[in-house]
Each structure stands twice: as C-alpha cells, then as structure tokens.
Amino acid sequence: MDLAQFTIHELHEKLKNKELSSTEITTSLLKRIKTYDPKIGAYLFVGEDIALAQAKAVDQALAKGAPIKPLTGIPIAPKDIYLTEGIPTTAGSKILEGYIPPYNSTVIQKCR
C-alpha cells in the first residue's frame, strides 16, 4: 500500500490505533524513494538499514505500551545541513564529503 496519500497526523492515528506499524510506514516510504528518487535526486543519502532498525525499535516499544508522541514512528528525512549522528552530513558540499557527525544537532534531538 502506498501511504503517500496520508498526512503525518493520519499516520499517527493509524499507529495509535494499531492499524499500521512503523515498519510498514517506513517500508512504504523507502519503496517510494527507490521508485522516484532516481528521477528526482532529492536524497544525498538514504539510510535504509538505519530507518528500518529505528522503525522496528519503535514497534517493539509501542508493543510494550510506550507512549506515542506525534512523531513517534513517523520517518523523517532531515535536510543535509542538520548534523545526524552516524549519518553522512555534508550540507551538499564536496569539502565535507565523508563527514559523519559524532552527535545529533538540536533539531534532530527534538524530532526524535
């Protein structure tokens, strides 16, 4: 199922009502990226393994009754200017090619 038709709020409700899992949402998004990004070129890096591992961890936490906040389980694709621990962050610059930050920026911390 292509979940692009749903808003973040609608996906949040589906997660809360156990109609969808974070893994299903993330898998749908990754499939869409694979389909369209070769033509568009919007992503400098797609951390598929990281995204799926995070989604699985969210699903496990929710199964144990963890609280669900508005962005819990919703995949995000931060702009390449926000330092994200363990993920190549270059601000689109060749000078920073290969730079992997050792910590998360405030924006990423707040989103997570």
* Segment 18-77, tens digit of pLDDT: 999 999 999 999 999 999 999 999 999 999 999 999 999 999 999 999 999 999 999 999
CA distances from 16 to 5, 29, 67, 86 (A): 18, 19, 9, 29
Q: Is the pLDDT of residue 105 over 90?
A: yes
Q: What's residue 3's pLDDT?
A: 87
Note whether 111 and 78 are within 8 A (CB): yes
Q: pLDDT for 31-40, tens place per residue?
A: 999 999 999 9
Note whether 16 and 62 are within 8 A (CB): no
Note whether 43 and 33 are within 8 A (CB): yes
Q: Is the pLDDT of residue 103 over 90?
A: yes
